[in-house]
Amino acid sequence: MRILVVCLGNICRSPLAEVALRQEIAAAGMTDDVSVDSAGTGDWNVGKPPNDRMRRAAAAVGLALEGTARQIAQDDLAHSDLILVMDEANLRDVRALAPDDATRAKVHLFLDYAGQGPLEVPDPYYGEDEGFDEVVAVVRPAARAIVERLAASTAA
C-alpha cells in the first residue's frame, strides 16, 4: 500500500505526518507492506527542507523530519492507494486534480480517516511556536489510529 500525505507547502504538517506514520508502521511490523510519502498542493516551497520550528517540535518527541518539499503530481494520484490531506482546502485542491471518481475516493482528511471526525489539522506556520507542538500532539495519535485501522483491514 502506498500512502501520500498532503498539506499546503509540504514543510510542516505533511512531513510530520509522513514521519509519524512511518514510525507507527515500523512499530506495527508493516514496513514491507506500507510506504509513505508527502507532498504539498503549492509550489513555493519546492526543494526546501522542513520548517525549523516543526523540526524542533517533532524532535522533542523523537521524530526526525528530513527531505525536501515537493508539489503533488498526477503520478502521485495514480500511484497512491490512500491520500490523506490536512485540511478542507487541501481536500478540495487534491480532489480537483483527480482525473476521476475512483481517484477522488482515495482522498480523505487525515483526522477523519483516523476516526476523529471531519476535523482539520491546523496549519501552524503563521502562528507561535506552541502551535507546532499542538500539531505534533494531534498528528501522532492520529497516525497511530490510522496504522491500527490499516492493520485491522489487512488482518480481516
Residue 42 has pLDDT above 70, yes or no: yes
Report pLDDT for 154. 81
- Provide the annotated active-site residues: 7, 13, 123
pTM of the predicted model as reported, rounded to 2 decimal places? 0.96
Residue 144 has pLDDT above 90, yes or no: yes
Q: How confident is the model at residue 156 (pLDDT cuts 50, 70, 90)?
A: low
Residue 16 has pLDDT above 80, yes or no: yes
When divided into structural domains, the chain yields a total of: 1
Q: Determine the structural domain holding residue 66 and report its residue range.
A: 2-155
Residue 155 has pLDDT above 90, yes or no: no
Q: Give pairs for 29-37: CB < 8 Å, separation 24+.
A: 30/147, 30/150, 30/151, 30/154, 33/1, 33/154, 34/1, 34/2, 34/3, 34/147, 34/150, 35/1, 35/2, 35/3, 36/2, 36/3, 36/4, 36/5, 37/2, 37/3, 37/4, 37/5, 37/76, 37/80
Q: Residue 38 sits in a domain of what CATH number?
A: 3.40.50.2300
